[in-house]
Chain A
């Protein structure tokens, strides 16, 4: 079945870059997503990438997709304390006709001032 794996914790210093990695198994994934969850809040979509793209940049966020290795990464430049949160990687197979997303267990990013 589908599976999404992420490391559980990442700690970085304020001002450094953060890189959160994710691997997935479903080769038919059409879209891959990064969601952010702050304490006590729901998930918020940060960015997504279509499976025929290699890279997507949006302000401080850079998403890299290696489809051959089924590896997705999220780079946050100039990480701030406000970036401390749990980051979820997710995949969906649009062909399945649903936004049924398969999520990783989340990477907790801690930013040290």
Chain B
């Protein structure tokens, strides 16, 4: 158990809909990362927050947004969903925002868009 909690574990929805994925980092970790894992693209970095502020942005679509709240949990919002958004979405956390870089990953939220 990494200490990172993600909900929901599975989600099935239709094209055009909007979903919110939630992540609670390990106790004491200030940084939260979101990654998308799909069969064709592999693991893609989406976005990072550190202590409530956006720190780095990767291949995140404009239809997607995220935020980190004062209690350090984070939410990833996916809107106008398309079939190609079906993937496993991982959240990871770390104590700092840079350095030796051990990321602790949650078990992921599997999104299926029909």
State the A residues within 8 Å of B (CB): 31, 33, 35, 40-45, 48, 50, 88, 92, 94, 96-106
Contacts and interface: CB of A to CB of B under 8 A. Distances in A.
A105 B103 CA distance: 17
Contacts of A92: 101
A52 B75 CA distance: 37
B43 A88 contact: yes
B98 A42 contact: no
A97 B103 contact: no
A27 to B, nearest CB: 18
A98 B97 contact: yes
Interface of B: 2, 4, 31, 33, 42-43, 45, 48, 55-56, 58, 90, 92, 94, 97-108
Contacts of B98: 94, 96-99
A31 B101 contact: yes
B107 A40 contact: yes
A9 to B, nearest CB: 14
Contact of B90 (A40, A42, A50, A97): A42
Nearest to B42: A105
A73 to B, nearest CB: 19
